[in-house]
Amino acid sequence: MVLSIGVDIGGTKIAAGVVDEDGRVVAHLLRPTPAGDAERVAETIAEAVGELAEGRVIGAVGLGAAGFVDETRSVVRFAPNLAWREEPLREKVAGLVGLPVVVENDANAMAWGEARFGAGRGETHLVCVTVGTGIGGGIVMGGSLYRGRWGMGAELGHMQVVPEGRLCGCGNLGCWEQYASGKALVVEARQIAEADPGRAGTLLEMAGGAPDRIDGPMVTEAARRKDPAALAAFSAMADWLAQGLDDLVAVLDPGLLVLGGGVSDAADLWIDQVRETFARNMTGRGHRPQADIRLAELGPIAGVVGAADLARAL
Ligand SMILES: [Zn+2]
């Protein structure tokens, strides 16, 4: 059995795991990310790899990095939540661990994990949409990860869906992730509670009467208790999510859309509406096979599994 190591490097934690050819994680560990110090990030990755490699034969290491990764899958050009600027991560980590290393964008790695071993098994054309605080994404076409010309494709969350809309962390206005994410859910719920407190009784009670103290778990809990404002916030998010999925279908014609990320933990509150709105507005509806919508299966470990599998091809 050939083993490889996948490392998922986020803004707050580094997850690493030894993965076998069938996508099974045979050992894993977690470390806090020293986000402000690029040298320490590389060292922490190398220490994690060293620890996991102890007593095992490892073929290669795949790094899923939360940032823009160049077309040679070597350099992280920029990372919004880490100290990486033109960071030669592949070379640095390879030098420290003495194994072949590949770097991939973390959302791409996650999508690849789901495509190979999760909800996307057997499907050659799929888009993975990770709905968390923002929206991440990965595109698999013809059985391969689609990375774009410069490695920067599949930034799905930054499709601009509302002209002059809400300000996004990327600097533009009206990006999809400002309307169809965990953050959007909270913004929507706060706005409704502010404008129409009578509809947000449960929600405001949880937040001590202050709309700006409403957070994501409160919106979920209040929706389960049928708070009208919380339900309206989920409904708005579901419609925006469905619209974006229809746009992706119009461009890419996938057979499957995989939805993951933190917000999918409460999928029972929105998945039916997403499926209905998606089907109702799909371009060419009635004259084309309809892409399936499935929930991701691997959970937070998908990035580790995907990165390890990408490394296996080295
Ligand atoms: Zn944006």
Residue-wise pLDDT tens digits, 74-113: 999 999 888 999 999 999 999 999 999 999 999 999 999 9
Residue 99: Cβ within 10 Å count: 18
169: CA distance to ligand 1 center in Å?
6
pLDDT at 2 over 90: no
Residues whose beta carbons lie less than 5 angstroms from ion ligand 1: 158, 168, 170, 172, 175
Query: Residue 171 Cα, ligand 1 centroid: separation in angstroms?
Result: 6
CATH architecture of 122-295: 2-Layer Sandwich (3.30)
Q: Which two tokens stand for residue 82?
A: 């880490």
What are the extents of the domains in the chain?
3-113+301-312, 122-295
**3-113+301-312 and 122-295 have identical folds:** yes
Cα(144) to ligand 1 centroid in Å equals 26
pTM above 0.85, yes or no: yes
CA of 164 to the centre of ligand 1 (A): 12
Is a pLDDT exceeding 90 seen at residue 270?
A: yes
Centroid of ligand 1 to alpha carbon of 220 (angstroms): 24
Res 297: pLDDT? 98
Has residue 1 got a pLDDT over 80?
no
Which is the CATH superfamily of the domain at 3-113+301-312? ATPase, nucleotide binding domain (3.30.420.40)
- Cα(209) to centroid(ligand 1), Å: 31
